[in-house]
Structure 1
Amino acid sequence: MTMLQRLALPPASAPDAPERMHALIERTLELDRHVQRRARADLAALPELALAPGARAALGPKYPARAFAYLEELDRDQDDAPADEAALLDEAARFFRGAIRPQSRHSLFNMVPEPSVESTAAAWLATAYNANSLMDAFGGEALLIEQQVARKIGRWAGWPQAMGISCNGGKFTIMYAIKSALGRIAPESIREGLPRDLTILCSEGAHYCVEHAASLLGLGSGHCLRVPSGSDGRMRPDALRRMLDEQHARGRRVAAIVCCGGTTINFNCEDTREVRDIAEAFAREHGLPQRPYLHLDSVIGWLYLSLLDADEARLRERVPDPRGRARIAEVLRRLRGVDGFDSLGVDFHKDGLCPYASSFFVARDRRFMDELGDGSYRYGDHDFQYGQFRAYRYTFENSRPGQGILAAWMNLRRLGRAGYGDYLAGLHQARDALADALQRHGLFRALNRASLGWELVFEAPFAPDLIELAPSYQDLALGFMQECWDRVNAGYDLPLFSIVPGYRIDNDPGAVTTGFLLYPMQPRSDAQWDEAVAHIAAQFHDFQARLRAQPRALGASAFEKPIR
C-alpha cells in the first residue's frame, strides 16, 4: 500500500462529498468500537471488588488509566515507520486512557457535562469540513455566527451592541479582557509597550489564572492585586475602595477590575452594581478620564443571564423548589448591574452543554477590536461587509477553529433563552436532590449550605484514633481520596469526585477544613443519588476498617488542589 493510499487520498481522484462523509462516519465508528473494546477488556481483567460487587458491570466515569513517566515515554518513542492498521487503532484507544467519561452516572468530579448530540455533531461537522475562522473570504458565515453568539449573550446582559471572540477556554477570555483594558487606559502601549504604572485588581476568590494572564501579557503577575472578600464571597466594598485609592496615591493606574461571576467552589459572585458604583465614584473623585475597565469572569455564571429578565412571579414558576430559587434569586440580584460592565466570559463547554472547547469573550461594543490590535488599523463600518471582515487583526490566534462557534450556536438556537433557564433550574434541582441523599444516608455532612452554586462540598467523619495516624486530618482525607481515585483510574464504575484542601466553610478564614466535592451536572433519580452516596460510604468504611486493622503512618503530602 502506498503512502497516499494510507492517507485515504487516491492519486487519481478524491471521493465525492457524500462518499467521503460516509467514510469519515464509518472510520469514526470503527475507532469508537476499538476504544470501547479495549476499555471493556481492561475492565474485565480487574479483580472483583468486595465493597462494590457490581463495579465491573459497565464502564465507569473514566476510561481505564495506566501510570507512566512522561520523559521515559518520550525517550522510548523512536519509531518513525508508518503504523499498520492494528497499531493505529491502538494509538486512538491510548489517547483516551484515563480520560473522564461525562456520560457516566458517576461522573461528579467537576463541571463537565455530557454535551448535547446537536452541538457535538455540529462541532464534528466543522472538523470534517476543515473550516478556518480567520476571515469570511474563506470561512463561510462562521464569523457572522460567532458575532451572533456574542450578540445574543450580550443582549441577555443588557448590551444591544455586543460583539465578541470565540476562543479556547476561560483563560483566553480573561486575557482578552485585560488586554482590552490595557489598550484602553494606555493606547500608546499598543505600539510602544506597557508602561510600568499599570495594575489590575481582582477578587480574592477570582480564578488562579488571572496572575498568569497578567504575566503572559507582559503586565507581570506582581501587578495583579487581590481584593479581600467577605463571608458572602464578594469583594469587601471598603477594601475595594481602599485599594483603588492606595494605587492612585502611589501613582499607579488601575486598568481593570476582574470580578467573580460565579466560581467553581462556593460560587463567589460580585454585586456588579456595587462594584460599578465604586469604580465610577473613584474616577469622579480623582478626576480620571475614565473608570477602570470592568470584566465579569462569568464563564460559569453566564447561565444565570438566561433568567435575568424574570420577575419574582416568573422565577417562582420556573424554579418551584424554594431552595434553588433562593440561590438563583440572589445571583440575579448581584448581576443586576452587569449592563454597566465592559465585558464578560462564557464557557459553553462548562454549563452550555457543548463539547470542548467553546468559550466566548463578550464585550459591550466593538471597541475591543481596535484595543486588541497592533495600532496600525482601526475598524470602520466598511469592515463589516461580507468579504471585508477579518478577525486576525484582534485575535490571539490566526488559525481559528470553528467547532466551538457552531456548537454554541446550535445549542443557543435549539434551547433558546428559556431552555437554558430550565437547564439552570435543573442543575439546582440536582444539587438539592443529592444533598437530600447525603442527609438520608446520615454519614456525611454538607459544608457549603451558603453556596449559591449547584456544587456540593461535604465532610467525612474520620475516627479520632485514625486521625492520630496522620500528620493532619487533611492527610488522612488525601489518603482516602487517593484510594477512591485509584479505583476509578483502574476502570471501576464508582463515583468520581474530588477533594478541596483548605476549604473555607461559608468563606470563613477561621473555619478551614478539607472537604470533598460533588458536581452534579444533570438531574437523576433519588435512587441513583442514593446509590452514589452509598458507594462513597462503602469506600469510606473500607478505608477506615483496613487502616484500623493494619495501622500505617500517613505522611504529609505535597498536594495541588485538583479544582480551584
Structure 2
Amino acid sequence: MATKGYKDKLEKILTFFQSPTSNRIMDGYFIFTISHFLDYFDDLKSEVPIFGGVRENIDELYKEAMTSQMPGEISNIEDVILQILNYCKGMYNWSHQNAQMNVIGPPPISGIIAKIAACIVNANLVSDEYSHRFSLAEVEAVAMISNLVGYDSRKSGGVFTFGGTGTNLYGVKVGLEKCAPGTFQTGIKDPVKVFASDCAHYTKYNCTQWLGIGSDNLVLIPTNQKNEMLLSVLEEKVKAEIEADNKIACIIATQGTTDAFGIDDLKGIVKIRDKLVKEYNLSYSPQIHADAVIGWIWAVFNDYNFQTNPLGFKERTLKSLRATSNLIKELRHADSLGVDFHKTGYSPYISSLFLVKDRDDLSLISRDKSTMPYLYQTGKYHPGIFTLECSRDASGPINGISNLNLLGKEGYRVIIGHVVEMAELLRDKLESYEFIDVINDYNYGSVTLFRVYPDKIKAKEHYQNELKDPVFSKDLEKHNKYNRNIYEYTVEKAYSGEGVALSFTEAYRTTVYEPSQEISAIKSFIMSPFTKEASIKKVIDQLLEARKAIQ
C-alpha cells in the first residue's frame, strides 16, 4: 500500500491557518475557535485576583521545562488551545478590583482587538511596504502625543520600540551622537557621562552598559523626600565633568518613578543645561530625555478646568491631579521623551513610544540605505533606517492609537482620576493609624508606599529617625523584616481570595547616613478601574489582621 504523501498532511495543516479568501466554513471555524477559547478562559476568573484561582509555586517546574523536546508529530488546534490556557493559570488578573501590585492596567476590548488585528495582518513597521496603513497609525500616534505634551507635531518625530528601556536607550543614543559626533561609525573615543537620579529606573544601567558607555560613567544624583533630583547637586556634578573634559551625553529626567511616582523638575534641569552650555561655550547641547513612561498620561489634564472641576473629583483628588499636572506640563521642554501605553495608557504589552521634539535628531542615528539593498524599494515611510530593530511589531502603535481614539482626553481623565481618588482614599485611611506611615506622601500618583510598625511606636516620627539617624539602624533592619512579614501575610490572604494583592519593594530608598541602608516598603499600585471603596477597606482590614497575627 502506497504511503500517503505530504500533500495529505498539508491539507490538515491548512486548516490551522486563516483562509486567504473569504470562506464561510474556515472563517466560521476561526470565530468558533476564538469563542471556544474565551469560554474556557472565562472559567479561570474568580473572586481571587488570579486566573485559575491559584498561583502555585512553579520553581521546580523549570527543571522539567529545560528538558523539553519539540514534538515529532502534528497536533491539532484544540489541544494547543488547552495548552495555552494552562499557561494562563496563575497569572494576575489586572482587571480585578483586588489587584494592586504594579503599574499594569487591563486593556479595553478594542485594545485586545487591535492586538488581534496586528497578528492577523502580521505587519512589520520596518517600512510602509510591509505595514501600509499601520505605518499611518504610528505617525498619527506620534502626532497625537506630540500635541498632547506640547511639541509641534509638524516638527517632532518618533517611533514605537521594545519597552521603556528602548525609549531610554534611544534618548541616550541620540545624546551620545550629539556630544560625540561620528560615534555611530567610529565608536566611543572619549569619556562620556550620563546623569540620572538615584530613584530613576534601573534601565539607566541597561542603557549605559549596552551602549558601551559603561555604568561606571553613570552619575547618580541624590533625591529629596519628594523623590526629585537635587538640582544643586546636578549642577555641581555636571560642572565637574565638563571641567574634567568629559562629554555629557544625556540627563535623564524621571517623570514618575516606578516605586513612588517621583517627578524631577524638568524645567529646572533644562535651565541648568542651557546655562552651562552658554557658560562653558559647549559645541553641543546635552540631551535632556524625559523618562515619562508612567507620568505622560497626566498631560490629559493640561487643559482641564480645575476651577469648575466638571468631572466632580473630590478635593483631595483634585489637589493631587493639579499638582501632578503642573509638573507634567513641563514635558514640552524635554528634547525627547518616552511613553508607555502599556502602563498608564491601558494597552497590552508592548506599546512604547520614543518621541523627539525635533525629528532631525533621528538623522543622527540613521544608516545609509545602501547597507539595506533589499528594503525600501517602495513607499515613503522608512523608519527602519534609524530604528535599532529591523522587525518591529505593529501592535504597539495600533494599540496606542486605538486607546487614544476610544478614550480621548475625557476617558483618560476619568480613569486616572478614579485610580488616584482610590489611592487618596487609601492614604487617608492609612494616615488615621498612628502605627502606619505613608512614606511617599509628597507624590501624587495612584501608588502608595507605606510602612507598618508594632504597638507603641509612632510610625511617622520613627521612620524619620530610621531614615536619618544611624542610631536607629538596627530598628530599621528589624522593621524591614517586620514589613516583609506583614506583606507575606497579605499575599497568602490574597491568593486564597480573602484579600487584596499588594507588592513589596526592598529598597524604596536608602538612608541619609552612611553606610547607607535600604528602606523597605509595602506598595499599593491601584490601576484597575474596577477598584472601589470596598477594596480599600479590605486593604486596611487585612493589614490590621496581619499586624495582629505577627505581633
CA distance in 2, matches of 1:386, 1:401: 20
Of residues 90, 95, 98, the one that matches 1:103 is: 95
The 3 A distance-change label for structure 1 pair 342 and 85 is closer
Cα contact 2:127–2:384 (8 A) shared by 1: yes
CA distance in 2, matches of 1:508, 1:121: 49
Cα contact 2:335–2:356 (8 A) shared by 1: yes
The 3 A distance-change label for structure 1 pair 480 and 237 is closer
CA distance in 2, matches of 1:97, 1:12: 27
Query: Does 2:55 correspond to 1:65?
Result: yes
Query: Does 2:13 correspond to 1:23?
Result: no
Which structure 2 residues correspond to residues 19-168 of structure 1 after superposition, within 5 A? 20-37=26-43, 39=44, 58-63=47-52, 64-66=54-56, 67-69=58-60, 72-78=63-69, 80-82=71-73, 83=75, 87-160=79-152, 161-168=155-162
C-alpha deviation, 1:87, in angstroms: 4.6
Of residues 495, 499, 519, the one that matches 2:504 is: 499
Of residues 222, 230, 242, the one that matches 1:248 is: 242
C-alpha deviation, 1:163, in angstroms: 1.7
Of residues 531, 534, 541, the one that matches 1:527 is: 534
Aligned length: 518
The 3 A distance-change label for structure 1 pair 171 and 22 is farther
Q: Which residue matches 1:230?
A: 224
Indicate the percent of aligned positions where both proteins have the same amino acid.
19
Unaligned segments of structure 1, at least 5 residues: 41-56, 545-564
Which structure 2 residues correspond to residues 408-557 of structure 1 after superposition, within 5 A? 408-438=400-430, 444-462=436-454, 472-486=478-492, 488=494, 492=497, 494-504=499-509, 513-521=519-527, 522=529, 524-544=531-551
TM-score by length of 1: 0.82
Counterpart of 2:47, as a letter, is A
CA distance in 1, matches of 2:524, 2:367: 44
TM-score by length of 2: 0.84
Q: Which residue matches 2:462?
A: none
Counterpart of 1:453, as a letter, is G
Query: Does 2:169 correspond to 1:198?
Result: no
CA distance in 2, matches of 1:397, 1:364: 21
The 3 A distance-change label for structure 1 pair 537 and 91 is farther
Counterpart of 1:478, as a letter, is R
CA distance in 2, matches of 1:12, 1:437: 53
Please list the CA deviations of residues 436-484 of structure 1 after superposition, one character each: whole Å capped at 9, or x if unmatched.
444678875433322222212222234699xx99972222332343344
The 3 A distance-change label for structure 1 pair 374 and 495 is same
Unaligned segments of structure 2, at least 5 residues: 458-473
The 3 A distance-change label for structure 1 pair 123 and 247 is same
Query: Does 2:369 correspond to 1:371?
Result: no
Note the aligned Cα RMSD (angstroms).
Answer: 3.4
The 3 A distance-change label for structure 1 pair 396 and 23 is farther
C-alpha deviation, 1:389, in angstroms: 1.5
Cα contact 1:295–1:344 (8 A) shared by 2: yes
SS at match of 1:255: strand
Query: Does 2:352 correspond to 1:362?
Result: no
Of residues 266, 291, 310, the one that matches 2:260 is: 266
Please list the CA deviations of residues 396-429 of structure 1 after superposition, one character each: whole Å capped at 9, or x if unmatched.
2222111121111111112222332333222221
Q: Which residue matches 2:175?
A: 181
SS at match of 2:245: coil
Cα contact 2:188–2:212 (8 A) shared by 1: yes
The 3 A distance-change label for structure 1 pair 234 and 437 is closer
Cα contact 1:115–1:353 (8 A) shared by 2: yes
CA distance in 2, matches of 1:34, 1:320: 39
Q: Which residue matches 1:560?
A: none
C-alpha deviation, 1:532, in angstroms: 3.9
SS at match of 2:343: helix
CA distance in 2, matches of 1:11, 1:474: 54
CA distance in 1, matches of 2:170, 2:148: 20
CA distance in 2, matches of 1:497, 1:200: 34
SS at match of 1:515: strand
Counterpart of 1:485, as a letter, is V
Counterpart of 1:494, as a letter, is G
Query: Does 2:208 correspond to 1:208?
Result: no
CA distance in 2, matches of 1:455, 1:185: 37
